[in-house]
Structure 1
Amino acid sequence: MVEKHKIVIVGGGVAGLDLATQLGRRAPDAFSVTLIDREPSHVWKPMLHTIAAGTQDAEIQGTSYMVHAAAKGFVFHPGEVIAIDRSPRHVRLAPLILHGEETLPARAVQYDSLILAAGSKANDFGTPGVKKHCLTIDSRADAIAFNDRLRARLLKALSERRVLSVAIVGGGATGVELAAELIQIADVVEHFGATGARKQMHVTLIEAGNRILAPFPERISHEAQRSLEALGIVVRTSAKVSSAEPGGLVLGSGEQVAAELKVWAAGVQAPEFCEKIEGLKRTMNHQLSVGPTLVTDDPHIFAIGDCASFTQAGDDRPLPTTAQVAFQQSVYLSKYLLPMIKQRPVPGFRYHDFGSLVALGRYDAYGSLGRVGIFKGGFIRGKIAQLGHALLYRRHQGRIHGMFRGSLIWLLDVLSRRVRPSGRFS
């Protein structure tokens, strides 16, 4: 009996779960597909800020890896990757600890072809105090932990009739969208009887650059800032944080920004294990450099999404770390990975910019139409942009669940919003 070729995917995010699903459906008997992730279930990463704020529920929006794997023809291994051994070809996992007990021991998963889709985390750039005093929302667990703390602090502030101050460092899409969602959850709480909750939530957004949403067209940056300020959010640009302290943040100018809750959403850095893989070219942010077929210097290791760095021919900088890039790279590998394993020639990956969208909760949304199509560089806002933002999520659900089941999930979400209170704050 011929042993199956072992395809192992590390990371069950936008790219990793999509790729595992597609390969699980398509892989012939000669291949096996394994997905590794430290979380028990998948949440679409662009939705993490809504879970952190409490406007969405992680349990309702999550997809169990184990259940999904059984349905789609791949194997799921829970665990955190601590190292990649290129010889022998092993992915080493830390012991799995649940409720303080070791559920699974440290172990190794063998691979023939390895796809790293491990995403990224915020980069504190070595800023003093950040690790100790700031929270992040890089993962499902981070978002849930932040929401738990937010609920406790806001309820306490309401009972004591004082202001809860929240500072968000990083004016990218995550920081901007989180700021708006925090105002939305305050409105939800006020709607259910906590009079004055909006006035008792003070949110400051701090960006080191000269404008928020720097990768977006300037018009979107300016419009979004005006909308945030209209919601009562203080937006500080050209303000670099020099340190974090228990009571707030210190800016480079020496000014102190008081904040009871501090969120670090700036910078991008690949997971630490990427830095430790010997013999592979990487960037200063630990991202693995890949070529046109998304393969690293090791022909058995591919990298996609935020943990990969790829510069297309004709471009002067790597592709951005966005869900759109990760998704397109997953689509590429789902089509061409098996031919590459069989050593057949394939075309190189080519990214197509279909535009960018940012949603300010239920209040507003903005988008650009990208560089393709008949409306190149067009600007959209309001309901149309909000619909476009929602459709990106529904497309993701359709890819991993199939269009029929994805449509049913969409219908259930709509019905759930009709019968359940908006927001998770109980």
Structure 2
Amino acid sequence: MHRFIIVGGGAGGLELATRLGDRFGSSAGKPDTKAPRAQITLVDRNPTHIWKPLLHEVAAGSMDPFTQELEYAAQALWHGFEFQQGELIGLDRAQKRIRIGALRDDEAGELLPERELDYDTLVLAIGSTTHFFGVEGAQEFSIALDTVGQAELFRKRLIAACMRAEHVVPEPVAAGIEESAPLPAVEAAPRIQVAIVGAGATGVELSAELRNTAQVLAAYGLHKLDPKHDIGIVLIEAGPRILPALKESVSSATAELLTKLGVRLMTGETVAQVTRDSIRTASGKIIRADLTVWAAGIKAPAVLSQLDGLPTNRLGQLIVRRTLQTEIDDNVFALGDCAACPWPGTERNVPPRAQAAHQQASFLFAAFERRMQGKPLPEYTYRDFGSLVSLGRYSAVGNLMGGLIGGNMLIEGLFARFMYMSLYRLHIAALHGYARMMLDTVAHWLRRSTAPRVKLH
């Protein structure tokens, strides 16, 4: 049988493994089906999957990750593929073999030894990690949002900071930004200040969610601070505007909404240093930061540059052709954030977005059917359907474009919020089918109706 190995269980990798398993995989979960035509193996270092665009909601406490996680082992049984937990540490292209590191537990020690797996077709879909750009103290004193663990760490620190600040007398300073950019003297300093470095989608969405979290925590009595004035949120962006990768109309509408929510926007400010309780910018401003979140950029995991000579770009992404095959090996493919795929008609690569990973997973599923039949592979073309940014329960902003409406249209408010929530529902449908997606939606609504609006512990 043809052996497919997919490394990385993010949105694209898990969708591809699920569809390949349904079409070609084993019948372990479906005893009345025919024999498998291929062996499909998914490799990931974590035991569970969560849709990465939701991590800002986990950090703000507005989503409980343990109700949204999907067990890889269960998905494998249900959809006819195999799951191997471990981290990719090596590749032998001549032998068509990958090496997976040992799986260890803090208490029990080694759970699984280092392993080797053979493949006929290898797909690398290991996503991206936070890029700290070598800024002094950034990695040590700020929190990234790459994993559920990091998001949960920030949430717990935020609750602890609110509870502590209630009993601390505030210092008589302007508002947490030193003399180079003081606030009016009548405005009291926030008791807590959260600084978010990077005003892309993650930073913007987190800033809005945090404003809602501050209000809910006060309503439940976890602190007696004024949610808007005692808890400050500063969004720092090196570029001239927030959401630099999106249309200027989307950026302007979002900036107006964030300003109304009391989020302080600092554009054109490059962070030069991060300390335990402050941020220094290249222009000399010192911003007080009780908690710092780093959302300023992404890069591919370092392991990709160590994989048996596969070419990478300056961000560490694997350089692929329009077939999504790597430049020097037809048996190794890459998709999602870790792939540098050309975007015809532009001078850019396909952007690292969830919609791109979903499209590439669908493309490879069809391409692998042709590959198993010995037919030539088609070429992938990215279709940009627009971008949406959630501002929590307050609103959403975005633009629809391309084949969806035949042009480019700014949307905001309830319709944009509905479109944003639909993106996650479509991901669930890709993993479980539309019937189960509808049941999951109802179950999610029922859980929300009997639980606090944010996680309180």
Q: Under a length normalisation based on structure 1, what TM-score does the superposition of the two structures give?
A: 0.96
1:139 is the counterpart of 2:168:
no
- Match 1:306 to one of 337, 340, 349: 337
Once the two structures are overlaid, the 10-residue window that deviates more, 28-37 or 408-417, is 28-37
Alpha-carbon spacing, 1:17–1:158, altered in 2? closer, same or farther (3 Å) = farther
- Match 2:198 to one of 170, 193, 199: 170
Indicate the SS of the match to 1:299.
Answer: strand
1:27 is the counterpart of 2:24:
yes
Instruction: Write out per-residue CA displacement over residues 172-197 of structure 1, whole angstroms, 9 at most, x where no aligned residue.
Output: 00010011111111111122123335
How far 1:387 sits from its partner (Å)?
0.2
Once the two structures are overlaid, the 10-residue window that deviates more, 413-422 or 195-204, is 195-204
Q: Percent identical across equivalent pairs?
A: 38
Alpha-carbon spacing, 1:104–1:154, altered in 2? closer, same or farther (3 Å) = farther
The aligned amino acid for 1:399 is A
Indicate the SS of the match to 2:298.
Answer: coil
Q: Which residue number in structure 2 is paired with residue 65 of structure 1?
A: 72
Indicate the SS of the match to 2:144.
Answer: coil
User: Is contact 1:9-1:16 (8 Å) kept?
Assistant: yes
After the TM superposition, which residues 178-327 of structure 1 pair with which residues of structure 2 at under 5 Å, given as runs?
A: 178-193=206-221, 194-198=223-227, 199-296=229-326, 297-327=328-358
Indicate the SS of the match to 2:240.
Answer: coil
Instruction: Write out per-residue CA displacement over residues 64-84 of structure 1, whole angstroms, 9 at most, x where no aligned residue.
Output: 111111111111111222222
1:148 is the counterpart of 2:145:
no
Residues of 1 paired with 2:164 and 2:113: CA distance? 40
Alpha-carbon spacing, 1:104–1:375, altered in 2? closer, same or farther (3 Å) = same
The aligned amino acid for 1:277 is L
Question: Which 5+ residue runs of structure 2 have no aligned equivalent?
Answer: 26-35, 171-190
1:130 is the counterpart of 2:138:
yes
Q: Which residue number in structure 2 is paired with residue 49 of structure 1?
A: 56
1:109 is the counterpart of 2:117:
yes
- Match 1:390 to one of 411, 421, 428: 421
How far 1:143 sits from its partner (Å)?
1.6
Q: Which residue number in structure 1 is paired with residue 129 of structure 2?
A: 121
User: Is contact 1:117-1:303 (8 Å) kept?
Assistant: yes
The aligned amino acid for 1:151 is I
Indicate the SS of the match to 1:180.
Answer: helix
- Match 2:6 to one of 4, 9, 18: 9
Residues of 2 paired with 1:117 and 1:75: CA distance? 16
Residues of 1 paired with 2:456 and 2:204: CA distance? 21
Residues of 2 paired with 1:164 and 1:323: CA distance? 33
How far 1:372 sits from its partner (Å)?
2.0
How far 1:31 sits from its partner (Å)?
1.0
Once the two structures are overlaid, the 10-residue window that deviates more, 358-367 or 341-350, is 341-350
Please report the RMSD computed on the Cα atoms of aligned residues, expressed in angstroms.
1.5
1:412 is the counterpart of 2:409:
no
How far 1:373 sits from its partner (Å)?
3.4
Q: Under a length normalisation based on structure 2, what TM-score does the superposition of the two structures give?
A: 0.89
Once the two structures are overlaid, the 10-residue window that deviates more, 331-340 or 383-392, is 331-340
Q: Which residue number in structure 1 is paired with residue 178 of structure 2?
A: none
Question: Which 5+ residue runs of structure 1 have no aligned equivalent?
Answer: none
Once the two structures are overlaid, the 10-residue window that deviates more, 392-401 or 35-44, is 35-44
How far 1:156 sits from its partner (Å)?
2.1
Alpha-carbon spacing, 1:161–1:332, altered in 2? closer, same or farther (3 Å) = farther
Instruction: Write out per-residue CA displacement over residues 219-278 of structure 1, whole angstroms, 9 at most, x where no aligned residue.
Output: 110111111111111111111011111122110012111111111111120111111113
Residues of 2 paired with 1:154 and 1:300: CA distance? 52
Instruction: Write out per-residue CA displacement over residues 101-140 of structure 1, whole angstroms, 9 at most, x where no aligned residue.
Output: 2222222222221111111011111111112111100122
User: Is contact 2:199-2:296 (8 Å) kept?
Assistant: yes
How far 1:159 sits from its partner (Å)?
4.4
After the TM superposition, which residues 66-105 of structure 1 pair with which residues of structure 2 at under 5 Å, given as runs?
A: 66-100=73-107, 101-105=109-113
Q: Which residue number in structure 1 is paired with residue 397 of structure 2?
A: 366
Indicate the SS of the match to 2:255.
Answer: helix
Residues of 2 paired with 1:157 and 1:8: CA distance? 50
